[in-house]
């Protein structure tokens, strides 16, 4: 059997995915990377975009926003990838209704952010980024084949 990677995607709210995969691609603050078995150890920031794992030839896409990723080797020589995201959601969880709500919310937040006197700018920015990431990733994967 070919070597695999132990992938774990976690948010503050829940464990999103824990699975053995052949590879995983993700957006980092330094650019897009693809992790294969025996990847060098690494800790880096996670950017907004899609984390795409490949397991048994099937793509498993996740929308993510912010956080960190750690790549390390356990004592058995298995490469472990821990994605600690501020927000993560499987593409199949993003329904058309959620996309519409995200678009409406993004527009509301853009208008609220125009008011420079508003104090909670960081909260609005984070929520806007989450809404836009959902829309972008759902649109990207709408016509592609992936594992649900």
Per-residue pLDDT tens for 85-103? 998 988 777 666 766 776 7
What are the residue boundaries of the structural domains of the chain, listed by start?
5-92, 94-141
What pLDDT score was predicted for residue 90? 84
Q: What is the pTM of this model?
A: 0.75
- Of 130 and 63, more confident: 63
Residue 143 has pLDDT above 90, yes or no: no
The CATH classification number of 5-92 equals 2.60.15.10
Q: Rounded to whole angstroms, what are the CA distances from 56 to 59, 97, 100, 112, 147?
A: 9, 30, 33, 45, 10
- Per-residue pLDDT, averaged over 121-148, amounts to 70
Query: Could you tell me which residue, 13 or 109, shows the higher pLDDT?
Result: 13
Task: Assess whether pLDDT exceeds 60 at residue 118.
Answer: no
pLDDT, average across residues 35-64: 93
Q: Across residues 60-65, what is the average pLDDT? A: 91
117, pLDDT greater than 70: no
């Amino acid at each position: 059997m070919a070597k695999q990677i132990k992938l774990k995607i976690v948010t503050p709210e829940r464990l999103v995915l824990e699975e053995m995969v052949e590879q995983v691609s993700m957006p980092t603050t330094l650019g897009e990377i693809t992790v294969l078995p025996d990847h060098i150890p690494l800790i880096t920031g996670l950017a907004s975009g899609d984390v795409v794992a490949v397991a048994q030839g099937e793509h498993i896409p996740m929308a993510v926003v912010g956080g960190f990723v750690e790549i390390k080797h356990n004592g058995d020589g298995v490469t472990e990838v821990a994605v600690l995201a501020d927000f993560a959601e499987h593409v199949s969880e993003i329904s058309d209704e959620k996309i519409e709500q995200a678009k409406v919310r993004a527009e509301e937040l853009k208008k609220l952010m125009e008011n420079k006197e508003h104090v909670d700018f960081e909260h609005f920015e984070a929520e806007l980024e989450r809404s836009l990431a959902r829309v972008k990733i759902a649109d990207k994967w709408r016509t592609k084949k992936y594992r649900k």
